[in-house]
Structure 1
Amino acid sequence: MSLLPFTVRFDPTNQELVLSGKMRPESVAEIADALELVRQSLEKYSGIVYLNVKRLTHINMTAFAALCDILAAGCRTRPDRNIKIITSSVMAWSASLFEMLAASLPNLSVEVYDSAFYPGQSFVEDESFIPILRTQTKMTWRHERELLPRHGLRSGLAMADICCGIGDFAALVQREFKPARLVALDHSVRSLDYARRVAADFDMRGIEYTYGDASQMLLRDDQFDFVTCRHSLQIFDRPEMLLRELFRICKPGGRVYITNEKNSHCLGEPHAESIKWTYEEVAKLFSHFDMDVEMGPKSRHLLLNAGFDDIKVDCFMVTNLDGDPQDFADVIEAWENVYAGEMAVRRGDSPDFIRRFRQGFKDHVFAALHPKGYAGWPIWAASGRKPL
């Protein structure tokens, strides 16, 4: 038996298998379930599939040989698939070991990363919000995939994802709900280029990535059964303009689904007071730049004012207990980098203020990673029907 258990999981957002811990079985039978997950994941997904072994601290030859057999079979049976093994220089043995395998398989490669991994990392390092959005979508999807049917999403609909950003949500909807048509629109050329490249890497077809201004879309009236706009109304200085456009492109009887936050209600324990103070200041900071990250509870009246009826509202708390607590910590660290490192500086805040501001984020990370801690981030999901 292995001295300590290891884990294997598949993340469909990144098409990434993650192995972590110590993989030291005495026989292949001991790891049969893990190997089967690897095999099934390789069979199911095309394009690029990532095998992340950055947190795999040990592997013996029994496990390595069995894993190699599955990877080699996956490469040979599907030459159109590329497998990228992601290692870390912290585990010096890892890269050289897997590079021996890669030398004999043209569609298998090894890459070494020492920072948080997501596909196309080198491209998005300039884009301060993209790291936030990727991990946020990964975490909120656990909740939203259960809520979306309640708000009217089902397979076979014509759908538009407005302010789609880097396209993660659209990709997840495409896989899970299989809309008849899916248009993903954003005003950022770089974000759309990124989304198209990830879709191509993952061999994902059928999403129509479209450049456009969400407040003045070049899309016909009454053409979508389901329209989504997530975490975007809150960063528009005139959200009512965007809602009018969402209403216009939605078919009569169709629904518009929005998500927004109330940042001042982010919470954590221990260090609750420090965390509370920082997120109250986040709301003020965004307000300074004409953005409203307190919008979540306002969703119902915003939708009613825009002309929708049959309003449905849900609130869910994303927490450090949703999967890997490090994911939650990564989001908070990204927020700190942007909010304290860029926005507060641009507002002209003093060094003393920024130090205290940063401390609340650090305390939130501490709460997320503490073995007895709890950290939360509340999201409001709401939808309304366009009257017949």
Structure 2
Amino acid sequence: MIATQLRSFTWQFNENNQEFLVQGALRPQRPDELASCLQALEAAAQKAKGRLYFNVRRLVRMNNVAFRAIARKLIDTVSGRSDLSIHVTTSSVVGWATHKFSTLQEHTPKITVNEYDSEFYPGQSFLEDGGFIPILRTQTNLTWHHEKALLAKHGLREDMLVADICCGIGDFAVLIQKEYNPGRVVALDHSKSSLAYARQVASEFGIKGIDYVFGDASDMLLESDQFDFVTCRHSLQVFDKPELILKELYRICKPGGRVYITNEKNSHCLGEPRGASIQKTYDEVARLWNHFNMDIELGPKSRRYMMDAGFEDILMESFMVTNLDGDPQDFADIIQSWENVYAGQMAVRRGDTPEQIAELRQGFQDHIFAALHPKGYAGWPIWAASGRKPK
């Protein structure tokens, strides 16, 4: 991800999501003041396959000089590329952007426009199974900053046969396919709608080599001993019997292959200022999950689980995702998603009083405050572990 700043606006290209983001106030006096930004947009388009996302949902101001220059660049880009379309993402909060950019659809069907609140990738709300899907989407973008190199340390190599179990909407499988060039990726999940969405995303991005499969992670209809590398991220903690999932991960892995898992210990989330309130909320989150027979504290227990499952040569380490890994607002968006699900759905189902829910929400809001504070620090710890299946 590359970010650049010019005066009062910034631009950033996320190659993993094929998304070019412009934010701030875009008010040049002459078109040539945008030369660097337009060159970066052109370079982004050259790297993109299928669909390029042009995101202006955080662009608070833009004059006509800027709009005409950008509009011309977008139209010229799709006119010269038969294999590329552009999706402009606006926001209902900044209504003028939708009105302006929608005029581009009259020039070419290869440019589409939609507001942030509607369906688009990667920011659409796609609530399912307790709301975990939208959480995982944003999380993957930030954890990939760490896992991109970590996966190689745990044994992932080019041309391997890879399985991504409990893949959700398939974003992690796409990142593996792009970065590591495996021979084949099988991505499995129990949600048919998530898999349909994953296939759509892969098609839009021109991603080949991923087979999306419907199945139960605790009883997969996949042959034994066939995958060189098996991943299962942020998922064991959701099941009341994680040992059954690990048994299946072990079964489908080739002898000598490795299984890689990640899990959390939410009570170790931290932030300053307002650390005491933050700590209190995440201690309660651990109890909340336990009430529903889930263990969001599983992270440090991963080594024991893998040893009990029969793995050897176990590697384990932790990393801290923070508000300094990228845009602090992205970190804050994750926390807001947690609040929406944990305080907005799970706490209500547990039977918490309005006062208890308000106290729980306060810690999440204080964590957001720490993430966005100019001198603040906010962290979310994750444990990664892998083990080799004996030959």
TM range (shorter): over 0.9
Aligned-partner Cα distance in 2 for 1:29–1:245: 58
The equivalent of 1:9 in structure 2 is 12
Aligned-partner Cα distance in 1 for 2:234–2:127: 21
Superposition CA RMSD, Å: 2.0
Deviation of 1:180 after TM superposition, in Å, equals 0.2
Count, aligned residues: 386
The equivalent of 2:263 in structure 1 is 260
Percent identity, aligned pairs only, is 60
2:142 maps to 1:134 = no
The equivalent of 2:338 in structure 1 is 335
Q: Which is worse superposed, 351-360 or 113-122?
A: 113-122
The equivalent of 1:344 in structure 2 is 347
2:76 maps to 1:73 = yes
CA offsets, 1:226-264, max 9 Å, x none? 000000111111111111111111111111100000011
Q: Determine if contact 1:88/1:112 at 8 Å carries over to the other structure.
A: yes
Structure 2 CA distance for partners of 1:73 and 1:251, relative to 1, 3 Å: same
Deviation of 1:300 after TM superposition, in Å, equals 1.3
CA offsets, 1:94-129, max 9 Å, x none? 23332333321221122233589644836x246622
Q: TM-score scaled by structure 1? A: 0.94
Partner of 1:349, secondary structure, is: coil
Unaligned runs of 5+ in 2: none
The equivalent of 2:241 in structure 1 is 238
Q: Determine if contact 2:116/2:123 at 8 Å carries over to the other structure.
A: no
Aligned-partner Cα distance in 2 for 1:91–1:356: 32
Amino acid paired to 2:292: F
Aligned-partner Cα distance in 1 for 2:312–2:263: 19
2:272 maps to 1:249 = no
The equivalent of 2:363 in structure 1 is 360
Amino acid paired to 2:354: P
Aligned-partner Cα distance in 2 for 1:3–1:48: 26
The equivalent of 1:377 in structure 2 is 380
Paired residues for 1:172-211 under 5 Å: 172-211=175-214
Deviation of 1:353 after TM superposition, in Å, equals 1.3
The structure 2 residue matched to 1:104, chosen from 92, 102, 107, is 107
Structure 2 CA distance for partners of 1:361 and 1:116, relative to 1, 3 Å: farther
Amino acid paired to 2:308: N
Unaligned runs of 5+ in 1: none
Q: Determine if contact 1:79/1:107 at 8 Å carries over to the other structure.
A: no
Q: Determine if contact 1:4/1:21 at 8 Å carries over to the other structure.
A: no
Aligned-partner Cα distance in 1 for 2:176–2:6: 40
The structure 2 residue matched to 1:292, chosen from 295, 299, 306, is 295
Deviation of 1:67 after TM superposition, in Å, equals 2.3
Aligned-partner Cα distance in 2 for 1:319–1:116: 28
Aligned-partner Cα distance in 2 for 1:339–1:228: 26
Structure 2 CA distance for partners of 1:369 and 1:235, relative to 1, 3 Å: same
Q: Determine if contact 1:119/1:198 at 8 Å carries over to the other structure.
A: no
Q: Determine if contact 2:116/2:124 at 8 Å carries over to the other structure.
A: no
CA offsets, 1:24-52, max 9 Å, x none? 34555543332222112212222222111
Aligned-partner Cα distance in 2 for 1:174–1:51: 23
Q: Which is worse superposed, 111-120 or 348-357?
A: 111-120
Amino acid paired to 1:317: M
The equivalent of 1:169 in structure 2 is 172
The equivalent of 2:59 in structure 1 is 56
Deviation of 1:62 after TM superposition, in Å, equals 4.4
Amino acid paired to 2:163: A
The equivalent of 2:308 in structure 1 is 305
Aligned-partner Cα distance in 1 for 2:379–2:24: 27
CA offsets, 1:187-219, max 9 Å, x none? 111211121122222222221000111111111
Paired residues for 1:155-166 under 5 Å: 155-166=158-169
Deviation of 1:178 after TM superposition, in Å, equals 1.1
